[in-house]
Structure 1
Amino acid sequence: MVRGAVQSSYDNAEIVLRVADIAFIALVLHGSLWLVGQSTTDMAFFLTTTALLYFQLGARFWNLYGSWQLLPLHEEARQLVIVWFAVLSALLATGFALHVTSDYSRLSLGLWALAVPACMLGLRAYLRHRVERNARRGVDIRILAFVGANRTAERIARHFQSRLWSGLRVAGVYDDRAVKRLNLQSLSLVGNIDGLVRDAREGKVDFVFITLPICAEHRIDQIVRELADATASVFLVPDAYIFERNHANWREVAGHPIISVYDSPFFGVNGLLKRIEDVVLSSLILLLISPLLLAIAAAVRLTSPGPALFKQRRYGLNGQVVEVWKFRSMTVAENGDSVVQATRGDRRVTPLGAFLRRTSLDELPQFFNVLQGRMSIVGPRPHAVAHNEQYRALIHGYMLRHKVKPGITGWAQINGWRGETDSVDKMERRVEYDMHYIRNWSLVMDLRIIAATAFKGFRGQNAY
């Protein structure tokens, strides 16, 4: 096993990527202009420098270079595409503002816009392949050790053991407890804490992840002080339970790092992207389904007495009460402190209403709620206020699903958890899926849920 050479290749990878990305943006632009027979004028130089400026700002904002060996390639590709799309959008806005878009060949710009991210992704894939190949040969790797055998250490160890392209090899865990007292699965016991300090001083360990519980702060402080006499990089890893509760992430207040345990994923850029997604998609969908909306509204009015639309009070973002619109599917319009869920063979459901509920067509007016900003296309389904008050007292963390806007469709619904919830267990399963969505949200996940809803519909046998 050879470890010395990794110091330069590992640490210089970020520099290589930064320089290569700059070269790709500049050279590919001039190459595309040459291919279409357009001369590289001062306007091309202006476009290059502006693109480089925007790209560096976007890369810094999205931390493009800070995690290239921590994220899977598809996640890094997603980050890169987002940054490049933001750059192109900013360039387009700048071009229109300065009235210079006609100075460039559309063909050359199209080639440039497609070729640059392809080159960047190709380089990143090659770097990962090279690191993984060397790691399999035992060359150019770094050694990672853990302090404290627990779930956190096991989880991180499994993460790196399945990702050879990270260039890290897990040596094991150092713990003062006897091995028979440890429940080790992915990790092996290397030695005690004194052994770790000795190995770190001898250069046998490159990274140390301290995964001891926060209550062991005095022991952690002692270990950190002793490791100051070594060159290993030391990281403190908070208890896993903190990050399992919700969309936890690091913040900084007055120069002190803090962890958000219960928070919404839709702040800053994520919130803006989510709102753009909702406005654009709901507008397009409403244009497409407007004839269907009119036909259903007329059918509801003609087949049973009462209004076409039914408005019910539901809890929205941050537990605020909002009015949610649906096509009326019952002979009653319950909206008070006691709301009885529909059951199989419910006499309150009209014949047309049964069809609308079974096919989820009664939910279509909620796209207007999305445009109003009360709902989102994808999110936890809103429940009647009476049901919320009932289940918040029975299910721990139930109200955390209201850290985001309620949705027309959601992760729980496409996985079969919709319709009647006649037991606490069923509602707990729905809430579990809702929390999974909140913790793991991404635009790609939203599009997957929308596509599954459009092509497969809601899955479940409990919708009456």
Structure 2
Amino acid sequence: MQDLIIRNSSRLELSMRVMDVLVLETAGMLASIIHFQAMIGETAPIHTVLLHFCSGLAFVLFAQLGLYTSWRGRSMPEMFVRVAMAWGLVLLIGLFFSFLIHHVGHVSRLWLFYWYATGVMLLVAYRIIVYGTLRHLRKKGLNSKRVVIVGYGSTGQEMHRRALAQDWAGYDVKAVHADPTDAGKISDPAIVRINTVEEIHNYVIANKIHEIWITLPLVASPKMQELQYLLRNALVDIRWVPDILGLQMLSNKVGDFLGFPAVDLNQPISSGIHGVIKELFDKVFSIVALILLLPLFVVIAVCIKYTSPGPVFFKQPRLGLNGKQFNVYKFRTMKVHREQGIVTQAAKNDSRLTSIGGFLRRTSLDELPQFINVLRGEMSVVGPRPHALQHNEMYKDLLELYMLRHRVKPGITGWAQIHGHRGETDTVDKMAKRVQFDLHYIQNWSLWMDIRIIAWTAFKGWTGANAY
């Protein structure tokens, strides 16, 4: 029973591929009923042709686009995005096919939209059921994969901890090979200790191990070469998990550079095509926000002018993407004054605050003009908050990874802010905690993560005990 699903993974994949075809055929027929109020056979013949052509194409292409690879330990929202993109690509190819056969003019675009939306919803819905069932089985100890960990430093220990904590992923660590200095860190007596690398292959064969996780640091390259030779005949999945916890870099994307594979150590996830998506989202969101917030802008501007002399907006230089300097916009919350070479953060009961300024800062309404910065391309809706230049100079020497937060555009709100790390950072520990959350955001960015942060900010993130 333990290996039943694993042994039949190819049959499960075939079942899912057939199910996808049935789902897409059903979605197309539902789209016809929704749009035409008729069965698809009663509409223009091109719709029936596209229905079967795209459904058959999905049977072939979905596998090539990675929709049936093992999704253990990976993000489900990422899977749903991949499903939506794959189905969209299939429909685009189908539309191009209808152009080639000179029937594109007879295709209803609204029917295509309904088919796409219905198809995505049904594909996602039944995947939730399938993967939810698999996760439930794994929590019960079924359909789990037996694992050997090679190396038990900080990365090996963290991988072991996550395998235990995320039991829905279905990884069962059976044995560990560790250096003598790390062997004492294995606290579970049920874990087998493999003393030498030469014994790993025999243990894997004898105990029907499914995966080997190599968590050795980069400096252990001689041992890696030895392992590569010793495990050359091991017909199991071998994963190398580099000591990224030790390197503490932003990413480890592998790409081609001058004909050689190269690893980008500090390239944020939100770059390349992801950066284009994020930029487009920022532009659309900022335009909509500025239009909707215009009446509020007028009210706040009148209040500022009424309560104290001076300009409505406050500008101050900040560091943006890759250290490029720009002026950040805010509603003015303090009386007009000059800083004497040092920027002093606002503190509780600060005498410099205007009568309306304290309210604007507590509710973060003073930050709203930064949608202008987003529209100008200087900021993002979500990202690490920009700090005063003097604070950057101070903390870059006190915190080792501080400047890595400038590898992305600063944001109006961020992962740190919705977790309570906003307002005054009067100690190094407070700033270190904020930077920790900022780096987590950069390392784990997704469009879905941005949407969650915006939603959280809209409902709960505008105020806080540290905002003054």
Note whether the superposition's TM-score is higher than 0.5.
yes
Q: Separation in 2 of the partners of 1:42 and 1:221?
A: 58
Residue type of the alignment partner of 2:241: V
What are structure 2's unaligned runs of at least 5 residues?
A: none
Partner of 2:389: 385
Deviates more, 1:234-243 or 1:274-283: 234-243
Q: 1:316: which partner in 2?
A: 320
Aligned twin of 1:21: 20
Q: Which position in structure 1 is the counterpart of 2:295?
A: 291
Judged with a 3 Å threshold, the aligned counterparts in structure 2 of structure 1 residues 167 and 36 are, in CA distance, closer, same or farther, namely: farther
1:387-408 Cα shifts (integer Å, max 9, x gaps): 2112222221111111111111
Name the residue aligned to 2:39.
Answer: 37
Q: Within 2, Cα distance between the matches of 1:361 and 1:135?
A: 45
Distance 1:91 1:158, change over 3 A: farther
Q: Which one of 51, 70, 74 corresponds to residue 71 of structure 1?
A: 74
The reply to whether residue 156 of structure 1 matches residue 159 of structure 2 is yes
- What CA distance in whole angstroms lies between the structure 1 residues aligned with 2:199 and 2:157? 20
Shift of 1:132: 5.8
CA distance, structure 1, for counterparts of residue 92 and residue 292 of structure 2: 27
Q: Which runs of no fewer than 5 residues in structure 1 stay unpaired?
A: none
SS at match of 2:412: strand
- Structure 1: how far apart are the matches of 2:181 and 2:464? 49
SS at 2:356 equivalent: helix
The Cα offsets for residues 251-310 of structure 1, whole Å up to 9 and x where unpaired, read as 343454443332222212211221122112111111111011122222222332222111
Provide closer, same or farther for how the CA distance between residues 185 and 442 of structure 1 changes in structure 2, counting only shifts above 3 A: farther
For the residue of structure 1 that corresponds to 2:291, the secondary structure is: helix
Residues 257 and 392 of structure 1: CA distance in aligned 2, closer, same or farther (over 3 Å): same
- Letter in structure 2 aligned against 1:155: E
Q: Choose the corresponding residue for 1:302, options 288, 294, 306.
A: 306
Distance 1:187 1:158, change over 3 A: farther
Distance 1:94 1:306 in 2: 63
Alpha-carbon distance between aligned partners in 2 of 1:38 and 1:156, rounded to the nearest angstrom = 51
Report the Cα offset of residue 352 of structure 1: 2.0
Deviation, 1:18, is: 4.2
Equivalent-residue separation in structure 2 for 1:186 and 1:130 (angstroms): 28
Residue identity in the other structure for 2:281: E
The answer to whether 1:411 aligns with 2:415 is yes
1:401-457: CA deviations, max 9, x gaps? 111111111122222222222222222222122112212222222222212222224
Does 1:10 find its partner at 2:12? no
Match of 1:173 in 2: 176
Question: Cα RMSD between the aligned structures?
Answer: 3.8
Cα 1:47–1:394, aligned 2, differ >3 Å: closer, same or farther?
same
The structure 1 residue matched to 2:200, chosen from 196, 203, 213, is 196
* Residue matched to 2:149: 146
The answer to whether the Cα contact below 8 Å between 1:6 and 1:141 also exists between their aligned partners in 2 is no
Asked if the contact 1:29–1:48 (Cα under 8 Å) also holds between the matched residues in 2, the reply is no
- Residues 186 and 354 from structure 1, CA distance in 2 versus in 1: closer, same or farther, beyond 3 angstroms? farther
Pairwise CA distance, 1:26: 4.1
2:144·2:172 contact (CA, 8 Å) conserved in 1?
A: yes
Which residue number corresponds to residue 235 of structure 2? 231
Bigger mean CA offset, 301-310 vs 375-384? 301-310
- Separation of aligned partners in 1, 2:213 and 2:313: 57
Out of 114, 129, 135, the position equivalent to 2:133 is 129
Distance in 1, matches of 2:40 and 2:109, equals 8
1:205 Cα deviation from its structure 2 partner: 2.4
Task: Give how far 1:373 is off.
Answer: 0.6
**Counterpart for residue 425 of structure 1:** 429
Distance in 2 (CA, whole Å) between partners of 1:450 and 1:173 is 42
Contact residue 380 and residue 434 of structure 1 kept, 8 A: yes
The SS at the match of 1:169 is strand
Aligned counterpart in structure 2 of residue 357 of structure 1, from 354, 361, 366 = 361
Contact 1:411 1:449 in 2 (8 A): yes
Paired letter, 2:313:
L
Q: 2-side partners of 1:18 and 1:267: how far apart?
A: 32
Structure 2 residue 274 is the aligned partner of structure 1 residue 270: yes
SS at match of 2:297: helix
Paired residue secondary structure (1:388): helix
Q: Secondary structure at the match of 2:83?
A: helix
Q: For residue 176 of structure 1, report the CA deviation from its aligned partner.
A: 6.0
> What TM-score do the two structures reach when normalised by structure 1?
0.84
1:131-181 residue CA offsets vs partner (Å, 9 max, x unmatched): 86489576x654321222233233333444455665653322134639863
Change (3 A) 1:180 1:325: closer
Q: CA separation in 2, counterparts of 1:226 and 1:81?
A: 42
Amino acid at match of 2:414: G
Which sits farther off after the overlay, 252-261 or 313-322?
A: 252-261
1:214 matched residue in structure 2: 218
TM-score (norm 2): 0.83
Structure-2 change in CA distance of 1:349 and 1:75 (3 Å): same
**Separation in 1, partners of 2:372, 2:97:** 33
Q: Is the Cα contact below 8 Å between 2:173 and 2:191 reproduced in 1? A: no
Inter-CA distance 462–155: structure 2 relative to 1 (3 Å threshold): closer
SS in 2 for 1:209: strand
Q: Using the TM superposition, give the Cα deviation of residue 51 of structure 1 relative to its aligned residue in structure 2, in angstroms.
A: 7.6
Superposed counterparts of 1:105-124, under 5 Å = 106=110, 110=114, 113-119=117-123, 121-123=125-127
What's the offset of the Cα at 1:340?
1.9
The change in CA–CA distance for 1:143 and 1:332 in structure 2 (over 3 A counts) is: same
Which one of the candidate residues 337, 362, 370 is aligned to 1:366? 370
AA at the equivalent of 1:10: S
Q: Distance in 1 between matches of 2:140 and 2:346?
A: 59
- Equivalent position amino acid for 1:152 in 2: T
- CA spacing shift, 1:269–1:66, aligned 2, 3 Å: farther
CA distance in structure 1 between the aligned counterparts of 2:315 and 2:57, rounded to whole angstroms:
50
> Which amino acid in 2 is paired with 1:347?
S
Is 2:405–2:439's contact at 8 Å kept on the other side of the alignment?
yes
Cα distance change on mapping 1:20 and 1:459 into 2, 3 Å: same
1:32 Cα offset (Å): 4.8
8 A contact 2:21–2:55 mirrored in 1: no
